Amino acid sequence: MARGSTQASPDVWGEPDGLTCKMTYMETRDTGVYWCESREGAASSSIQLTVSGGSVILQSPVLPVMEGDDVTLSCQTKTPSNLSPAFIKDGSLIRTEPAGHMTLHHVTSSDEGLYKCFISGDGESPSSWISVSEKPSISSSTGTTSSTTTSSNTTITPPPPFQSLSCVFPSLVCVIVVVLLVILVPLVRRHVQRKSECGTNLLT
């Protein structure tokens, strides 16, 4: 695991344990941005880790949360306290919660920001950044599906009636021509024979 620093190259922290990295006895100086890298140099997305030396801490999601999810923030102290913690976002008070935790329902991009909590007599926690990611849209896939269906329907649609008639028409003409030939040829032969017989009678 690597941690960002003011040096030219990042510091290496923790003891690798398979695909995880275990860090023990955390101190305030361990606060920073963390990520992991493969041997090929590919880096993961980074997270902000805050280690507080005070008596009040705010437990919040480290990774970005998805739009529409519920997020619970918990304010804790080293010593038990009966006082209700106040939850603050971007310097403005949201509300106090006697239970010590606050849930944000169906978060949106407007819920993104710096959060901290305050307990009178114990102090306030370090600020934690909550990031809200936009939920992916499915409209593009729906459009693709509908267009595929349309093209499929077009492919299987039977041809219009006039196309069928155009295919039948030449054969119909052939039939009519054949019928006419069958009828006309004998008539023409008879006519020719009569003329020839008339000519022979005139000669005789």
State whether 35 and 85 are in the same domain. Answer: no
Residues 59, 30 share a domain: no
Q: Is residue 21 part of a domain?
A: yes
Note the pLDDT of residue 66: 92
Low-confidence residues of the chain: pLDDT under 70:
1-18, 52-53, 139-171, 196-204
pLDDT at 11: 58
For residue 68, being part of any structural domain is answered with: yes
Last residue of a domain, one of 134, 152, 182: 134
Q: What is the number of H-type helices and E-type strands within the chain?
A: 2, 16
CATH of the domain at 111: 2.60.40.10
Instruction: Show the domain range for 41.
Output: 1-51
Same domain, 70 and 101: yes
Residues 113 and 84 both lie in one domain: yes
pLDDT of residue 116: 94
Claim to verify: residue 128 and residue 103 sit in the same structural domain? yes
| 55 touches 79 (CB < 8 A) | yes
Instruction: Give me the pLDDT at residue 31, please.
Output: 77
CA distance 101 to 116: 12
Question: Token digits for 103?
Answer: 């849930």
| Residue 177 located in a structural domain | no
Same domain, 57 and 109: yes
Residue 90 belongs to a domain = yes
pTM for the structure as a whole: 0.49
Q: CB–CB of 38/4 below 8 Å?
A: no
**pLDDT computed for residue 185 by the predictor:** 77
Query: Does residue 35 sit in the same domain as residue 82?
Result: no
Tally of domains within the chain:
2
Q: Within a domain: residue 20?
A: yes
Residues 111 and 70 in one domain: yes
Cα–Cα distance, 57 to 47 (Å, whole number): 17
Query: Could you tell me if residue 186 is inside a domain?
Result: no
Contacts of range 70-74, beta carbons closer than 8 Å, 24 or more positions apart: 70/103, 70/104, 70/105, 70/106, 70/107, 71/103, 71/104, 71/107, 71/111, 71/130, 72/101, 72/102, 72/103, 72/104, 73/101, 73/102, 73/103, 73/104, 73/115, 73/117, 74/100, 74/101
Give a yes or no: residue 45 inside a domain.
yes
In a domain, 14, yes or no: yes
